[in-house]
Every structure is written in structure tokens, then in C-alpha cells.
Amino acid sequence: MNDLRKQERAPTSSEKAQSNGGRYSDAALMPPVDVIEDGSGITLFADLPGVSRDKLNLQVEIGTLTIDAEIDLKLPEGLQSSHTEVGLGRFHRTFTLSSELDTEKVTAELADGVLTLRIPKAEHAKPRRIEVSTA
């Protein structure tokens, strides 16, 4: 038998944000990341769709790399989303870095929604050739 009573719907993420003073809670999406290591260091690729450079915060502190970013997608004025699959407006991820990495020389680039971080190995951790003398 069909039940025709009105069902309560779950609030959308924008409704949740409005009821929370326009701000999302501390919840965040964990961006997918690929890490590639070679002889000279590591390269980290993080997917951050919808993030602009001014909404991206990268920090290295005491051997920890932190990525914090806010999604910068806005609906045109007068429109309201009827369905939202990604309701959180923030990315957050932390990584513990090896002491073999030189955190003073980190480089970062953001292009087409992909953050590329390059962290070289410290000089003491790079392979080096040892000369052998004859007696």
C-alpha cells in the first residue's frame, strides 16, 4: 500500500550553511593525493577542484605539511542549488615529512585544480659517490 504522507527531506548543504551563520563546520574533504619519489625528492599531486590560489594555505611546521583550501564556487545570483553532491566547502590534509626532506626548499604550483608540490631531499640524504684511494 502506498504511503502518501509528506516525508521530511534532509536539509541541503547550503541550508545547513545558512543555519550555521553562513559557515560550514570544521568538517573538510580529504583531497586525493599521489606521491612520487625519485632520487632527488618527492613530488606530491593533490586534486583541489574549485580552489583558487588565494583560498589555498600551505604550511610546513616541525616536520608536518598541512594543506588547507576553500572551494571558491559560487552560484549565480538568484539561483539556488536543488541538489548538491559535495556539500563541504573545504579541503584539509596533513602529512608527516621525513627528516630526509629539505622543507626550506618546497615549491608549489596550482594549475587546473591540481596542486603540485616538490620537496627535494636534504643534501645529507642524497646519494653520493665515495672516492676510493689506493695505498
pLDDT in tens, 107-135: 999 999 999 999 999 887 777 788 999 98
Q: How far apart are CA 11 and CA 18, in angstroms?
A: 10
| Residue 76 main-chain phi, psi, to 5 deg | -60, 150
User: pTM score, two decimals?
Assistant: 0.69
Q: How confident is the model at residue 48 (pLDDT cuts 50, 70, 90)?
A: very high
pLDDT tens for residues 56-68?
999 999 899 999 9
Q: Sheet of 90-96: strands edge to edge?
A: 51-61, 64-71, 90-96
Cell of 93: 590534509
